[in-house]
């Protein structure tokens, strides 16, 4: 499990993840973790056997993104519980919103995140590197996944990542949005395992 809570840049997060592991890796990443994973692929391409990116994107800083992230940082620093209750409904699917236990678990996960970690990660994303500059150099297979209702990691943004890669597949999982690993964990695992089988990727 990579620790992305202590560093201030995507590059540092990737370097820590590589330094705290040995040998070849199959990297599974979600959301911001996808940025870290792609940077790991740049820093140590010979160590990566395969990569799975769920709800990722490679887009640059949007026109209003800086102001949006600063507002998120301020809101979370003021009241993490209120922040969680405002953010979570925006990133899960309509079906997920009808599952009280799931919503409660996601809310608790966000509420338990220290505000200083949330701020560090948002600032790391503000200064994120542009992975499209080096994706073509990655020769390992990559599986891209997103939820059918994800407005942050869209079909278009995933197809743009795939266009830069030598060996990539993109799949959409229904009844999920940006928190795919929480919303549809069994379908996500099954899809990854099927892809491992087609690519003859051995886990041991």
Q: What's the token pair of residue 129? A: 């590197």
Q: Please report the pLDDT score of residue 171 as a whole number.
A: 97
Is the residue at 1 inside a domain?
no
Is the residue at 97 inside a domain?
yes
Nearest alpha carbon to residue 145 among 198, 181, 109: 181
Q: Please report the pLDDT score of residue 203 as a whole number.
A: 83
Is the residue at 3 inside a domain?
no
CA 41 to chain centre: 14
Same structural domain for residues 30 and 116?
A: no
Q: What's the token pair of residue 155? A: 């079909």
Q: Please report the pLDDT score of residue 1 as a whole number.
A: 92
Is the residue at 2 inside a domain?
no
Same structural domain for residues 163 and 110?
A: no
pTM: 0.94
Q: Which domain holds residue 151?
A: 10-60+129-199
Residue with tokens 């560093």: 7
Same structural domain for residues 52 and 149?
A: yes
∠ Cα 9 14 18 (to 5°): 150
Same structural domain for residues 49 and 104?
A: no
Is the residue at 156 inside a domain?
yes
Is the residue at 5 inside a domain?
no
Three-state DSSP at 30 gives strand
Count how many domains the chain has.
2
Is the residue at 204 inside a domain?
no
Q: Please report the pLDDT score of residue 58 as a whole number.
A: 95
Is the residue at 184 inside a domain?
yes
Q: Please report the pLDDT score of residue 202 as a whole number.
A: 87
Same structural domain for residues 133 and 113?
A: no
Same structural domain for residues 38 and 70?
A: no
The CATH number covering residue 171 comes to: 3.40.50.1820
Residues (pLDDT < 50) of the chain are none
Task: Decide if 188 contacts 180 (C-beta within 8 A).
Answer: yes
Nearest alpha carbon to residue 24 among 2, 51, 49, 56: 49
Q: How far is CA 11 from CA 3, 85, 131, 151, in A?
A: 13, 30, 11, 25
Q: Residue 53 has what DSSP assignment?
A: E
């Amino acid at each position: 499990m990579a620790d992305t809570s202590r560093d201030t840049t995507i590059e540092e997060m990737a370097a820590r993840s590589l330094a705290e592991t040995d040998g070849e890796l199959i990297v599974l990443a979600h959301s911001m973790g996808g940025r870290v994973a792609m940077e790991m692929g740049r820093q140590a391409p010979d160590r990566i056997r395969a990569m799975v990116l769920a709800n990722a994107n490679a887009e640059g800083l949007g026109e209003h993104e800086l102001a949006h992230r600063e507002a998120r940082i301020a809101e979370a620093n003021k009241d993490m519980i209120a922040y969680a209750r405002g953010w979570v409904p925006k990133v899960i699917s309509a079906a997920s919103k009808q599952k009280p236990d799931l919503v409660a678990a996601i809310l608790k996960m966000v509420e338990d995140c220290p505000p200083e970690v949330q701020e560090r990660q948002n600032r790391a994303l503000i200064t994120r590197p542009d992975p499209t500059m080096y994706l073509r150099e990655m020769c390992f297979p990559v599986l891209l996944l997103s939820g059918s209702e994800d407005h942050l990691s869209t079909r278009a943004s995933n197809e743009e990542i795939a266009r830069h890669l030598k060996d990539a597949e993109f799949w959409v999982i229904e009844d999920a949005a940006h928190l795919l690993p929480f919303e549809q964990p069994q379908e996500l695992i099954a899809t990854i395992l099927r892809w491992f089988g087609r690519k003859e990727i051995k886990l041991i």
